[in-house]
Amino acid sequence: MNNTNIIFNDLNKIKDKVKLLLVEHPSTKDNDNELVCWFWYYESKNENKDFSFRDFLTEYKNNNYTNSDNITRVRRKLQEKEINLRGKTYNKRQNICSDLKNKIHKL
Average pLDDT over residues 42-68: 85
Q: Give the Cα separation of 47 and 62 in Å (integer).
A: 15
Contact 96, 33 (CB under 8 A): no
Q: 66-106, pLDDT tens digit by residue?
A: 999 999 999 999 999 999 999 888 777 777 777 788 888 88
pTM of the predicted structure, to 2 decimals: 0.78
Contact 14, 70 (CB under 8 A): yes
Q: Is pLDDT above 90 for 39? A: yes
Question: What letters, b where the CB count within 10 A reaches 16 and e where it falls short, cover 36-64?
Answer: bebbbebbbbeeeeeeeeeeeeebeeeee
Number of domains present in the structure of the chain = 1
Average pLDDT over residues 4-25: 90
Give the structural domain span for 43: 3-106
